[in-house]
Amino acid sequence: MTYRDRHDAGRQLAAELAMTGPADPVVLALPRGGVPVAYQVARVLQAPLDVLIVRKLGHPVQPEFAIGALGEGGVRFLDDASIDEFDISTRELQDVTEIEQAELRRRSQRYRRGRDPVPIEGRNVILVDDGLATGSSARAAVEVARQRGAAQVVLAVPVAPESAVTQLRRVADTVLCMQTPRWFGSVGSYYDDFEQTTDEEVARLLDRAEAQRTDATLPISEVD
């Protein structure tokens, strides 16, 4: 089965979460592709919507090799075994962290247009993406949500390989995945329209969700 687009996937995911998801949640999207999916989830559940921005901390010499992850508010998740194995110094780690902190701030400003992140301490969080390949970004996002004080973290995605779902069930409280194909190609192969989500679309959907949440007189828009 393929989804028409991310909004279609979000509506289908929302229907399942409406029956099985946690009470009074905050919906957090992994940008950029997770935002249209999460918008539909938040719309159906009438929940606050925000992004959870996570930046990979890469090896100082081999940036593609992750040694940890960084979230907003100074939250940092480190792979101590890799740091020890590669003998990465405190100074090197700090340099990488400062670079990614600057990128976090830039993206937060661009996506939220100056709004503060939605508080999640003590809240049930539904973490949403448009799909998973390896699950490494989602795992980091779960860890960041926990360090920010989430009471419960539910990871919800339209499609992922079974291996990634199995690994993520060890860190998330619940993993909801609509499809786990035996032969997994790429996330995009399960969408008819998988056009890249732009920064502007992310910001626009967050603006719309915030306006609908704070002004009950506004109509709830199903899709742009």
Averaged in consecutive runs of 10 residues, what is the pLDDT profile of the chain (224 residues)?
Answer: 96 97 97 98 97 93 87 85 92 94 95 95 98 90 93 98 95 97 93 97 97 68 55
Let me know if residue 32 belongs to a domain.
yes
Q: Which of 112, 132, 154 is the last residue of a domain?
A: 112
Those residues whose C-beta lies under 8 Å from the C-beta of residue 172, and which sit 6 or more positions away, are 127, 142, 153, 154, 155
Domain membership of residue 223 (yes or no) is no
Residue 71's pLDDT is what? 87
Length of the chain: 224
pLDDT recorded at residue 38? 99
Q: What is the pLDDT, as a whole number, of residue 172?
A: 98
| Same domain for 41 and 67 | no
Residues 123 and 178 reside in one and the same domain: yes
CATH no. for residue 35? 3.40.50.2020
The pLDDT of residue 218 is 59
The whole-model pTM stands at: 0.89
Q: Are residues 28 and 106 in the same domain?
A: no
> What pLDDT, on a 0 to 100 scale, did the predictor assign at position 223?
54
What pLDDT, on a 0 to 100 scale, did the predictor assign at position 105? Answer: 94
Tell me, yes or no, whether 146 and 180 share the same domain.
yes
Predicted pLDDT of residue 75? 85
The reply to whether 104 falls in a domain is yes
Count of structural domains, the chain:
2
> Where in the sequence is the domain holding 80, given as residue range(s)?
55-112
Task: Examine the domain organization and report whether 104 and 135 are in the same domain.
Answer: no
